[in-house]
Structure 1
Amino acid sequence: MSNATRAAWLRLIRSENVGPVTFRQLVDHFGSAVAALEALPDLARRGGARARIRVASEAEVAEELATARALGAHFVAMGEPDYPVRLAVIEGPPPILAVKGGSGVCRRPAVAIVGARNASLAGRKFAGQMARGLGLAGFVVASGLARGIDAAAHEASLDTGTIAVFAGGLDRLYPPENENLAARIVATGGALVSEMPFGWEPRARDFPRRNRLISGLALGVVVIEAAARSGSLHTARFAAEQGREVFAVPGSPLDPRTEGTNDLIRNGATLVAAPEHVIEALAPILGQAPPPSQVSEGAGDDLDRPTDASDLARRVVLEALGPTPVGVDEILRATGVRTGELQLILMELAIAGRLERHAGGRVSLLP
């Protein structure tokens, strides 16, 4: 990818109301990020935006690129060799990632290990044993650099390869107490990864978004000590939606920190008590390459890519939408609108900040 194209991709994904799914649709529809950037203001107006949307400037992106270089980081885009292969095929993969450290670990098969921040001594010890065993078997260990289970898993896999996924920018480490661990991950050839801009302070809503990347990087997710409504269960749910294997380590029914993991097992997750159990379960799929999936510029001319939609089409699509998520296929069947026309209308609504996207390709209208 040329530097100019990389900068255009960054501008587009950093622009207001452009998430990973909308990014892909914009590039597919307009053929390039540059063309999509030019179309954003008009799309927002047609979608009913109440104010002019913010389009990231060339100066903003130049500053972010300079910040990355100063911190020893770089950007990897979908389709490039160092972009994590399995992450590319999830629903809504980030089109571009900030990476600090060894990109080579992102090309290797990975297993995610997640769990409680307030983990017990036994839980942290087992996380270390699991990470070491998986590392010796050739797996990279992915996690979120949080306290407890995450930190124990990273620590035990420093010598064999580990990836830490940030909820904020790579220059906004959370929690700060793991600064030394993050430095050692980079020093030993591991990687720190984020889809968020440099300078972005992580908020509560950013951690589920981070968790979908942790599961997306991996062939499977091992959950060790998770309370009933913990973020680790979000990671397990994302893993299931992404077609990944979900493993859970059983715990005492008297310990609230293991209530979530025991429920996972009861609901179909694979019970594991040793690294060998995970390795054995993943062996059949290790040699299976995921289907190719990438954002490419210069989409084919035969695509249904209308430049505008009729007033009638907009009206019937808006009537079909509401606060309850509905599938795009269902909207097509109910309205009779052409696929390309519907995608254009949904893009307009998304850029205007009026559309919310949900798992499974479902959408809903924001008030």
Structure 2
Amino acid sequence: MSPPKNEALDWLRLIRSQNVGPMTFYKLLERFGSAKAALDALPDLAKRGGAKAFVAHPKAAAEREIEALEKLGGRLVLRTDEHFPPLLSQVEDAPPLISVLGHPHLLKKRTVAVVGARNASLSGKNFARKISADLGAAGFLVASGMARGLDAAAHQGAMDSGTVAVLGGGVDVVYPRENEALYEELCQRGAILSEVELGTKPQARHFPRRNRIISGMARATIVVEASLHSGSLITARMALEQGREVCAVPGSPSDPRAAGCNKLIKDGANLTQNAQDVLDVLLPILNSPLSEPKRLDFKEKTPSQPSDAELDRARASIQEMLSPAPVTVDELVRNCQFSPAAVALVLLELELAGRLERHPGNRVSLI
């Protein structure tokens, strides 16, 4: 079942609000019980964290985004929606919602990611098409990033069976322009998704977050060609952090585009020469789910609030303990005399004021 329209609007407004990322979004829902209650609390939280002014994402702007997406033939898919990619929903920092063009039912299929170099060799692109077609014939959805080179070849190979492009910009922004025909075909026969706002032009800082969606929705990430500093290696690292399989295609030691894949294999990635090598890795575990997806059934009741006196003391103490060097939230709690609820609230205030950054592993640092 799709979520009620008002709930989708509130979720969109909350995640589009300044300084609210996925982890902060979930902490706000956990604390306040609903996106609507969190939106009401945002200005006061940010002010207490040191922000001079804070305005939540306007309702009218969120309504325009939903209307524009629907005019494109797309839809908003919340993490609680049946069409949200099931493995992605198990990732700690999964996007609360995604914009989808094309066929959202494809996102429920078992998924593998095929990624690689933009400056791919002809043999590398041919390999990507072949392995994507074979994995598609075996029942898998093929995910990639619609970049030039290997990504485009992977989409082309899996078009008949099902493929999804995860974009670094808005779903209405074709990037690179040379893939415009591929984009149109994906809209008609596959799917395109993004977590960022319509009209957003892709920037370098968007791609690592895009990559964690590609790896997060896939049982395995297959790297075909990649240099030692390729973004594809970031995707592979994220896959490992998410507890997924990494497969790498070996290449000539004299080709810089093979250096990243050869290093992955040396470090323990599954050596991959064809689709069967991937199936040999995946088939034994396909009937064993990674874990039960975390349910987002938050209560409407707000948990017990720390007293104003405790919060006043906690703000000064916690800010003194923080620095640009990341520390775990658990370490903060152990080294202060305040309740976990007080620590969590002070950190939320600082984050909404733009003074705190969250890192993987439940770590935080001052900006």
Tell me the distance in 1 between the aligned counterparts of 2:26 and 2:148: 34
- 1:91 match: 92
2:6 is equivalent to residue 4 of structure 1: yes
1:211 aligns with 2:211: yes
| Map of 2:247 onto structure 1 | 247
Q: Give the superposition deviation at 1:315.
A: 2.1
**In the alignment, is the contact (CA less than 8 A) between 2:132 and 2:154 conserved in 1?**
yes
Shift of 1:305: 4.9
In 2, the alpha carbon distance for the partners of 1:162 and 1:305 equals 47
Q: Does 1:138 align with 2:139?
A: yes
Q: In structure 2, what is the Cα distance between the partners aligned to 1:299 and 1:109?
A: 34
- Which residue does the alignment assign to 2:68? 67
Instruction: Give distance in 1, aligned partners of 2:353 and 2:153.
Output: 43
1:13 to 15, 21, 36: 15
Could you tell me how far 1:306 is from its partner in structure 2? 4.0
Cα distance in 2 for residues equivalent to 1:358 and 1:81 = 29
Letter in 2 for 1:31: G
Asked whether the 8 Å contact 2:114–2:151 carries over to 1, the reply is yes
Q: Is the 1:32–1:298 contact (alpha carbons within 8 Å) kept by the matching residues of 2?
A: yes
* Distance in structure 1 (CA, Å) of the matches to 2:199 and 2:295: 27
TM-superposed deviation, 1:299: 5.2
Look up the match of 1:200.
200
Shift of 1:44: 0.6
CA contact (8 A) 1:76 1:99 kept: yes
Query: Is residue 114–residue 223 contact of structure 1 (8 Å, CA) maintained in 2?
Result: yes
Distance 1:102 1:294 in 2: 24
Per the alignment, residue 166 of structure 2 pairs with: 165
- Once residues 262 and 97 of structure 1 are traced to their aligned partners in structure 2, the CA distance between those partners, rounded to angstroms, is 34
Pairs aligned (count): 363
2 CA distance for matches of 1:295 and 1:307? 27
How is 1:1-367 mapped onto 2 (pairs within 5 angstroms)?
A: 1-49=3-51, 51-188=52-189, 190-289=190-289, 290-298=291-299, 303=303, 305-306=305-306, 310-366=311-367
2:32–2:301 contact (8 Å) kept in structure 1:
no
Q: Given that residues 33 and 297 in structure 1 are in contact (C-alpha distance below 8 angstroms), is that contact kept between their aligned partners in structure 2?
A: no
Residues 117 and 148 in structure 1, CA contact (< 8 A), matched pair in contact too: yes
% identical aligned pairs: 48
Residues of 1 paired with 2:180 and 2:320: CA distance?
A: 51
Contact 2:46 2:54 in 1 (8 A): yes
Kindly provide the amino acid, as one letter, of the partner of residue 193 in structure 1: L
Contact kept in structure 2, 1:95 and 1:295, CA below 8 Å: no
The amino acid across from 1:204 in the alignment is: A
Distance between the aligned counterparts of 1:285 and 1:316, measured in 2? Answer: 47
Q: Is the 8 A contact 2:326 2:363 kept in 1?
A: yes
Question: In the aligned structure 2, how far is the partner of 1:245 from the partner of 1:48?
Answer: 43
Describe the SS at the equivalent of 1:128.
helix
Residue 152 of structure 1 aligns to which amino acid in structure 2? Answer: A
Contact between 1:323 and 1:364, CA under 8 Å: does it hold in 2? yes
The answer for unaligned runs of 5 or more in structure 1 is none
Shift of 1:130: 1.0
SS of corresponding position for 2:98: strand
Task: Please state how far the C-alpha of 1:332 moved relative to its aligned partner.
Answer: 1.5
TM-score scaled by structure 1?
0.96
1 CA distance for matches of 2:331 and 2:119?
44
Cα distance 1:31–1:177, how it changes in 2: closer, same or farther (>3 A)? same
SS in structure 2 at match of 1:186: helix
Structure 2 letter corresponding to 1:66: E
Shift, 1:48, TM fit: 1.2
Q: Deviations over 1:274-297 (max 9, x none)?
A: 111111101122122331214334
SS of residue paired to 2:246: strand
Distance 2:228 2:266 in 1: 13
